[in-house]
Chain A
């Protein structure tokens, strides 16, 4: 059996890479993908801890996270398409309508 902490460290690494992607990249699609990666990293730690404590509640939470991620992707990509239709760009630096 692989120790639970190894899964958690892998999860932390994936989450960190996702965070770096959100902070560094300026393309809205790549940022979206990084957010998905972070959600998946959290899911991995849920799964590992569910096994560690032999508690299925963690897996239920994973299911809920997946539902939220699916809804988020559907709405988010629709917003991306709306932004592209209005501004013709995917760079978030160019989307500054709310800036005073």
Chain B
């Protein structure tokens, strides 16, 4: 429980850091921290393999891609969350006010639904679960989910081709 609270607080702080940072580089690094703590939380819910995948895919590939783009376009300060010396209320223009109200409303609705629900009991029978091992996941992935697995590979291929095609410089006629 103690570990959960620590990781949850780090994840939340990193998430707030992502959306409040003035420099995109800081946002990307906060996002990395968020992904890393989420990997730790995956281990706490018996998803060890996916924790490893999380680190490899998100921390290894996605964040590096983000940092590449930030470095390419120059990581200057952004002014879209208001100037540094403005008061908080002065920054709170009406779209941001609406966004804040909607976000808090979503949070209250979800929190109320969960806390009044039936999910407060913890299960202890993790042994029947295969411990989230590669073997247990592979047994399901390559039998019941063989077709989605193949489709995922096609999706990745299409994504790769699309990225290469979009990144081409425009042709001079």
Contact = CB atoms under 8 A, between A and B. Distances in A.
Interface of A: 1-10, 12-21, 23-27, 29-30, 32-34, 36-37, 40, 43-44, 47-48, 50-52, 54, 56-57, 59-60, 62-64, 66-75, 77-82, 84-85, 90-91
A90 B66 CA distance: 13
B66 A75 contact: no
A48 B47 CA distance: 9
A21 B47 CA distance: 28
9 contacts: A1-B124, A7-B41, A19-B102, A24-B95, A44-B38, A67-B152, A70-B61, A74-B160, A78-B166
Interface residues of B, number: 89
Contacts, number: 236
A33 B18 contact: yes
A36 B31 contact: yes
Contacts of B145: 60
A50 to B, nearest CB: 7
A37 B117 contact: no
